Amino acid sequence: MAEYTPFEMIAYTGSRVLEDNTIVFVGTGLPIIASIHAQLTHAPGLGIIFEAGPLTPVLEMGMPLSVGDTRACRKACYLKGLSSVFELTQRGHADFAFIGGAQIDMYGNVNSTFEGGTYTKAQTRFPGSGGAGAMAANCEKSIIIMALEPRRFVNQLDFVTSIGFGDGAENYREKAGVMGSGPYRVITNEALFGFDEGTRRMMLLEVAPGRTADDIKKKVSFDLLVSSDLKEMAQPTEKDLRLLREECDPDGFFLARKLK
């Protein structure tokens, strides 16, 4: 099997999760790469929404470096600005939200605002929601990318930036006035997580080759459910890696980064 980096594994797994003939609302970086890879392989009918306004552009000028990159506007079938694409999600026209964050809890709530201290006197300040808060509230399913560390997979968030299943109550999202079915998958380079339908708690679905469920539990601060049908994560093939490196991110802006 070919060698690959942690970020290549995340991008490849993100691609696997996406489905053909659906619409994904992407954030900057790995979500864009995963979406392009999906279009080049199993999901040619996948449409991409970028936060700055484009809907289903043709990315023939190279990978956009941000959601506001003009390359994301090339031959878009819809280009009316930020407010208009968020209106599309409120009308139910986005199947997936693809977002990141700094912390996540067992119910898929995400913090990308601050860590430690208070909102006005934070120990660490993060970039904030961008559009992720609205994406998680309005898109049908949320896909979350996060590094697998106990300080990130926490019992209690310091701040809820992007809503998941709240406190886990069956009707929490309905009472909160948000749309969609909520968190769907959480992707790391070591594991793929989903959510139990009954309890809405995070569940381990797949582990990276050479890892066990106990290895993953040690990197999660809460009580993690484990699927009775636990699988090994699929690895990218030589063809997948060529597409990721030569077609999706040829300059290595995101895939060539190192884990800290």
Encoding tokens for residue 98? Answer: 């693809």
Q: What average pLDDT does the segment 100-108 reach?
A: 96
What ranges in 58-113 are assigned the alpha helix state H? 82-90
CATH number, domain with residue 185: 3.40.1080.10
Give 1's DSSP letter: -
260 in any annotated domain = no
What tens digit of pLDDT does each residue of 192-229 get? Answer: 999 999 999 999 999 999 999 999 999 999 999 999 99
- Catalytic hit among 3, 8, 19, 51: 51
Give SS3 for 225.
Answer: strand
Is 246:10 a contact under the CB 8 Å cutoff?
no
- Amino acid identity of 80? K
Is the residue at 30 inside a domain?
A: yes
pTM higher than 0.95 for the full model? no
CA distance 184 to 197: 10
Q: Average pLDDT, stretch 46-61?
A: 89
More confident site: 200 or 57: 200
Give the pLDDT confidence score for residue 109 in this predicted structure. Answer: 98
- Please give the full DSSP string across 124-150, using - where no structure is assigned: EE----TTHHHHHHHSSEEEEE----T
Quickly state the pLDDT bin for 236 (edges 50, 70, 90). very high
Q: Is residue 137 part of a domain?
A: yes
pLDDT digits (tens, 9 = 90+) for 68-103: 888 888 888 888 888 888 998 899 899 999 999 999
- Residue 255 inside a domain? The answer is no
Residue 123 lies in a domain: yes
Please report the pLDDT score of residue 160 as a whole number: 96
The predicted model gives 176-200 an average pLDDT of 96
Split at pLDDT 50, 70, 90, the class of 59 is confident
Helix H or strand E encompassing 183? strand 182-187
Is 253 within the bounds of a domain?
no
Q: Reply yes or no on whether 51 is catalytic.
A: yes
Task: Give the closest residue to 190 by CA, choosing from 164, 165, 162, 218.
Answer: 218
Domain region containing 175: 6-248
Q: Domain total for the chain?
A: 1
Q: Per the domain annotation, does 256 fall within a domain? A: no
Q: Is the dihedral of CA 84, 89, 95, 98 positive or negative?
A: positive
Backbone φ and ψ of 132, nearest 5°: -65, -35
Cα–Cα nearest to 41, from 182, 256, 208, 234: 234
- Rounded Cα distance between 135 and 143, Å, is 10
Query: Which DSSP state fits 235?
Result: P
Token pair belonging to 22? 């659906």
Whether 254 maps to a domain, the answer reads no
* Confidence band of 37 (pLDDT split at 50, 70, 90): very high
Encode burial over 80-119: b for 16+ CB neighbours within 10 A, e otherwise: eeeeebbebbeeebbbbbbbbbbbbbbbbbbbbbbbeeee
Query: What's the pLDDT score for residue 121?
Result: 95
| CA separation, residue 25 to residues 4, 35, 188, 250 (Å) | 26, 10, 19, 22
